[in-house]
Structure formats: C-alpha cells, structure tokens
Structure 1
Amino acid sequence: MSILVTGGDGYIGWPTALRIASRTDDRVVLVDNFGRREWVSSVGSKSATPIADMDERIDAASEVHGLDNLSFVEGDLVDRAVVDRILQVHEPHTVVHTAAQPSAPYSQINGERANFTQHNNLQATRNLVWGLKENDMTDTHLVETTTTGVYGAPSFPIPEGDATMENMGESDTVPYPAMAGSWYHLTKSHDAANLRLAHKQFDIPVSDVRTAIVYGTETEETREDDRLKTRFDFDYYFGVVAHRFAAQAVAGYPLTVYGKGEQRKPFVSLEDTVEGLARLALADPDEREHDHEVYNQVTDPISIVGMAETIAEVAREFDYDGEVMHVENPRDEDETHQMEIVNDRYMSLIGEQRTTFEEGIRDVFETLSQYENTIVTHEDRFLPSVLEE
C-alpha cells in the first residue's frame, strides 16, 4: 500500500509528506522535478531557508522521526509516460496532488510564462486522472490543492462547493462560476472542472481542496531539525503577501498597505494546511465513498491592514521596526471588500484551528531572523516601487 505526494519538494508538499508518513506504515512516495527551485532562481530570488537536497531530507526524517517509509522519485508529471510508470510501480491508494507552478504574478510576466503555467498545471492533472482511469486505478482517492482564488471576490458568501442558481423562477445546483483573476488561477479553475468531470465519467473519488493564502514556516515535524525545513519564499513572484510584509520588516522598511487595505482575504497556516491534507490522505480506503467533495481550506479571513498590523506588532517583539504605511493603490480593486467564505466542511475535517495567524507569523520571524542576510541582499526582489524611489 502506498500514498503518492506530488510536488514533494515544495513548500506544502514536503511537510505534508512528513505528516502523512508519521501517521501510517504505508509507503509515502514523493514525486517532484525540482521546478520550483528553478522558477524562483529565474526571477533572481531564493528561499530564505536553505533547502536540503532530497536524499538529505529523507535521511533526516529517518534519523529525527524514525520515518523509514519515505521514498522519492524524480519525474515530470507533464510527461504521461512518467505518470504511468509511477502509478504502475507504486499502485497508490491515494494521490495528494500539490505539484504546480503556484504563482499568479509569475504567470502574468509574459505570454511565455502564461503558456507554460497553463500547460504545466493542466497537463499534470489531466495525466493523473487519465493515468488512474487507464491503469484501472479508479478506486484511488485523488486529493488536489486548487485555490480559493477560483472564486474571485463576489459580494455574497462563498459556498463550500456548489452554488444555487436561479433563473426565470427556476433554481438548480451548479458548480461555482470561475472568476479567477490570473493565468495561474485559471489553471486551478480548469483543474476543478476537470476533477469534477473525472469523478463523473470515471467515478474517481475526488477531494478538491481550495487552499487559501498559506503562511508560516514550521510544522510539528519540520521544526525538529534544520534539514527538515521547508522552503520560504519572500519575493514578489513567489512570496505571499504576509511573507513579503515580514521580509520588509526584517530589511528595515515599513509595511506598505495599498490604499485603505480593508479588503478581507482568506488565510490558513502551513500547520493547518498540512493537517487537512494528511487527514484526507489517511481516510480509510475501505470506508471512503466515491464522492466528489470541495473543501474551503480557510481558517482566518483577515483584512490586509489587519494582517499588516499583526505582522508589525510581532516584528517589534523581535526588535524590528514594525511600522505600517498606507500608500496609493496602483491596483483597480475594492479596498473595503469583506470576503465571506464558508468553511464548515474543512473545519469539521481538522477539528479545530491548530495555529493562529499571530502564532504563524511568530514562527516566520523566528526563521527570518536566522537568515536576515539573505533577506537584505535580495530586497530588490520584494520591495514595492514606492520604497525604491
């Protein structure tokens, strides 16, 4: 019996694999082509935390946690032959699919990056669902991290899955409309539709985990040894807004909030993200129904200014100047939009929130304070133009 974790070298994939391996005797097989390392390097940045190579990571997992059930396969899921070979050799009862080019800004750089993002992400997912179908593995549970970004920013509460549509006095339940705002987010909208179709046509059990903005540096497993650390990106292209704000504080700059910054965004800690994915991966195959479920992987809806103020407050605990500065907003957006998103199914899955935003940000500063030089020497990769003038 085995569980496959794609994107196993990534920010979410690596700690998720550790969590799963710590709770099962099944073989946990990680798959990655190390693309994230190359993409970040191509925009002139790097992870703040040094990332061990995969052999060292797996050795450390064995030495520190006694995990001897981790394996790694280097491979590109865009190559259908690679996917078939992995599925045929390892015969997973569950696939946790976290592999993707995950950056909206990277996908917006130019047409080449947009095309690459769409081809890379969509082809990998299609190869997986067709690989399961054509290798007679339609009992395999497919768990994919899509994104809450598929929802856009509607003025009504976002459901956890389908929506009810009314027209001319009639109503029906329909998939939530794709309102993505980037070429990357559209890949996840298409993935969500393809997952739904794969379930309908092939009866593959699917968990579509629509992940919010993930923040934090540590999980229970990674904090035990530096060799187990996951990556931490802080640049404009691959670093989420909370991480970029923290990097600004470490480099001695104010936290720049565009306009009012009262718009509320969905967040979830790395710890809570990993916990949800692990619980889905470890669901009893004999008891699992062939369902298609959508989970809104969100624990903290927070305004941008509220997030900045919390980060500034924690920064001062670490002797950094935590100052919030409002600047003119270069974007066309509603600065007061109060996103409401239903997360009942996801909270029922994890039981309770394990890490608050403040606790997760404290972990971020614990980490960044150790690698301050990396942040400072790459400040041109994350500073907004208003601070460069």
Structure 2
Amino acid sequence: MILMTGADGYLGWPTLLKLSAAFPEERIVGVDSLARRKWVEEVGSVSATPIESLAERVKSAAACGFSNISMLEADLTDRDTVYLLLQTYRPRAIVHLAAQPSAPYSQINGERANFTQENNNQMCRNLLWGLYELNLKTCHFIETTTTGIYGAPEMDIPEGDITLLGWNNKPERVPYPAMATSWYHMSKCQDAANMRLAHFQWGLPISELRTAIVFGADTTETKLDPRLSTRFDFDFYFGVLPNRFVAQALADCPITVYGKGYQKKPMIPLEEAATSIVQLVLQGPTEELSIYNQYTHLASPVDLANALQNVTKRKNMNVQITHMTNPRTEREEHPMKMAHERFQTCLLPQKPMSMEQCIDSMLDTLMPYKSVLKAYRDRFISASSN
C-alpha cells in the first residue's frame, strides 16, 4: 500500500486521486491533520472553491471510481501516532506532502516561525525514524521540499548537489549551499539534511522533489465532478502569486506587483506537479539519494501580470496592473538559472501547458466563485501593506 501525508491539501488531494487511478489494485491511505483549513481561517480567509469533509471526500471519490482511497485525520508531529500508522499499514512507499507551506505565514512573528520549523521537521524526523526502527527500510520515502532551499544566488543552480575537488584532487559531491530566505524555506533545508543523513546512515531509499511554486485550480481528476475539487487559496499568506493574480482579476481588483517585479521564480502547474509525483512512485527508488528540481516555468511577477492581461483581453476583461512596495525581503531583479533536466527526463511524461493556457483554464474554473473572491478581496495583500 501507499501512504500519503498532507492528503487534504491543495496539492495533496489531486495527487491522492492520481495515485488511486495509477494503482487501482493497491490501498491508498491519505493522512492529514486538517491544519491547512485552520491556518487559512486564522488569517481571515477561505478557499475560493468549496471543499468537503474528509469522510465526504472519500465517499465522493468512491462514487467517481476512486474506490481504493482511505483518509485518516492524524497529527504526524506525534511520534506514537506515526509509529502506529507505520506498524498498521507497513507501506511500500510514503509520499510526504504534509507541511506548513507558507513562507509569509512563517514570517509573521517568532511564534509562527517556531511552529513552522518544529511542525515540519518533527513530522519528517518521526517518519524517517519510524521507517528505521520498525524495519521498513525498503519503503520508498518521497518528500516535496522546495526550490526555495537554494535562495536566489548569483550562480547557476544544479539539481541538488555540486561537485568539488577534495584531497588529492578527488571529486566530492556535496549539497548545494542552503540559502533559504524564509523560516519556512529553512525548515525544508533541515528536512533535506535529515533525509540525506537517514539515507547515509541507514540506506533508506529516499527521493526529494524540490517543488517550485505550484499554481492552477484543477487537474484531470478534479474536473470529473465538482465534489472532487481541490482547495484554492488566494490570500496573501497562502495564495501563491499566479493564483492570487487570477483571483484579483476575477474580483475586479488591480494586479498587485510588489516592487519592480523582475525576479524570476520557478513554477509548475498543479496538473504537472501531481502527475510527476505519481511518476516518481511508479519509477521507484534508486540506489542513490535522488533530488529533482520540480519545475516547468521560470516567470517573474511582471511576466505573470502581462500574461494575465493578454488572456483577460481575449475574454473582454479589463485588468490593470499596479506596483506596490515589496513587503518581502528579496532581490528586485534576479534571472534564476536552475537546472531541471533530470526532472524533465525522468518524471515529466508530457509537455506542460503554457503559462497563458494555465491562466485561461484557471479563469474558467474560478468564474463561478467570483462572489467569494470579491467578498474576501481585503485578503489579497498583507496588513502591513494596507
């Protein structure tokens, strides 16, 4: 069987459905603490798309042919809970997506910075130690970390490691320097280091997907029935840039570009992000620790805003672009040169949609929820920007 954490999340739920379709003869068990729902409520926002309870999600999935899914509510920071899950199910693969995933949320104050790192790192450690201590050392452990591990250096970024010359001019592969720019991203640096340690010490088969900004409103599976829709966050804290821009356009608000907006960021559509995770489960582990830069597009906020304007003009929508003081500590201009050949070759079976195609699809999917976006339009920017 396959165990997937973060199964109630934005990326988790579509991935769970794809796993169900790819492995119809296996039990797919999803685990989630429902914390994402609480965090978004805490910052005064909601998902634009309606999402059902865990029990209703399972019923809806079964009615649509995804009959091998189970869902459990559980806190993976609790060691005993994790060990009970692993003892009960003894999975052959774990897809670990559970995390507090928001950099802005982790930057609010020291309490949330502490929570983000303790929450994310404790879950990863519990799972790794559980696999070792319960003798599940052939289980393929897959975690989505983030391309934000690399920061924004003034040099080319490889897929994971770099090669340096050591003693006697012998080549030595070492991790690329962790230059994260938020407390959330730094939590994933620690996860990456702990996974490397677990692989080195115990030989656990581990694959790390350094996931870019995931954007989009649906996948092939979630389009099958409205009850299968995934959440769509659009607020300053949990709404990633492309999703927030589309939400602003539908709410008849100007697109807010922070600062100059020329810093390139790696991104990937929701469909390709979920598909490539399933592809990695299908592929199985390698003997070495495998690291992939999981992205398909490099785009700046200005690129996104211009692409959105192009699409909305064709739909007879009038969208304006405005620049605001950047509340984040980041470079105003950055080219972001990042390798992803291994990811493209091994895990991307089809050519991804263009940015404008993705934006067009999002607009169509979210059009019925314009009233929700308008009602929460004050959540588009941070309180410090008001």
Superposed pair shares fold, TM > 0.5: yes
CA distance in 1, matches of 2:337, 2:108: 30
CA distance in 2, matches of 1:354, 1:315: 21
Query: 1:371 matched to which residue of 2?
Result: 369
CA distance in 1, matches of 2:253, 2:311: 15
Number of residue pairs matched?
383
Query: 1:312 matched to which residue of 2?
Result: 309
2:224 maps to 1:228:
no
The alignment yields a C-alpha RMSD, in angstroms, of: 1.9
CA separation of 1:336 and 1:167: change in aligned 2, threshold 3 A? farther
Query: 2:12 matched to which residue of 1?
Result: 13
**Structural mapping, 1:282-301, within 5 Å:** 282-284=282-284, 288-301=285-298
**CA deviation vs aligned residue, 1:263-286 (integer Å, no higher than 9, x gap):** 2110100001001100112235xx
CA separation of 1:166 and 1:328: change in aligned 2, threshold 3 A? farther
CA distance in 2, matches of 1:249, 1:325: 12
Does structure 2 retain, via aligned residues, the 8 Å contact 1:347–1:353? no
Determine helix, strand or coil for the equivalent of 1:16. helix
**Which is further off, 315-324 or 325-334?**
325-334
Aligned partner letter, 1:291: E
Q: How far apart are residue 332 of structure 1 and its match?
A: 5.0
Query: 1:118 matched to which residue of 2?
Result: 117
CA separation of 1:386 and 1:326: change in aligned 2, threshold 3 A? farther
Aligned partner letter, 1:179: M
Task: Quote the sequence identity (%).
Answer: 48
Aligned partner letter, 2:336: M
Which structure 1 residue ranges, 5 or more long, are not aligned? none
Does structure 1 retain, via aligned residues, the 8 Å contact 2:327–2:385? no
**Which is further off, 163-172 or 331-340?**
163-172
TM-score where L is the length of structure 2 = 0.95
CA distance in 2, matches of 1:369, 1:221: 19
Q: How far apart are residue 110 of structure 1 and its match?
A: 0.9
Does structure 2 retain, via aligned residues, the 8 Å contact 1:83–1:128? yes
Does structure 2 retain, via aligned residues, the 8 Å contact 1:271–1:355? no
CA distance in 2, matches of 1:332, 1:32: 31
**CA deviation vs aligned residue, 1:163-215 (integer Å, no higher than 9, x gap):** 13468995632101110011100110000000000111111111100000000
Determine helix, strand or coil for the equivalent of 2:67. coil
CA separation of 1:370 and 1:143: change in aligned 2, threshold 3 A? same
CA distance in 2, matches of 1:263, 1:211: 18
Q: How far apart are residue 329 of structure 1 and its match?
A: 4.2
Among candidates 341, 354, 357, match of residue 356 of structure 1: 354
Does structure 1 retain, via aligned residues, the 8 Å contact 2:161–2:176? yes
Q: How far apart are residue 330 of structure 1 and its match?
A: 5.1
Which structure 2 residue ranges, 5 or more long, are not aligned? none
CA separation of 1:353 and 1:386: change in aligned 2, threshold 3 A? farther
Query: 1:107 matched to which residue of 2?
Result: 106
CA separation of 1:63 and 1:386: change in aligned 2, threshold 3 A? same
Query: 1:137 matched to which residue of 2?
Result: 136
**Structural mapping, 1:262-301, within 5 Å:** 262-284=262-284, 288-301=285-298
CA separation of 1:44 and 1:140: change in aligned 2, threshold 3 A? same
**Which is further off, 374-383 or 330-339?**
330-339
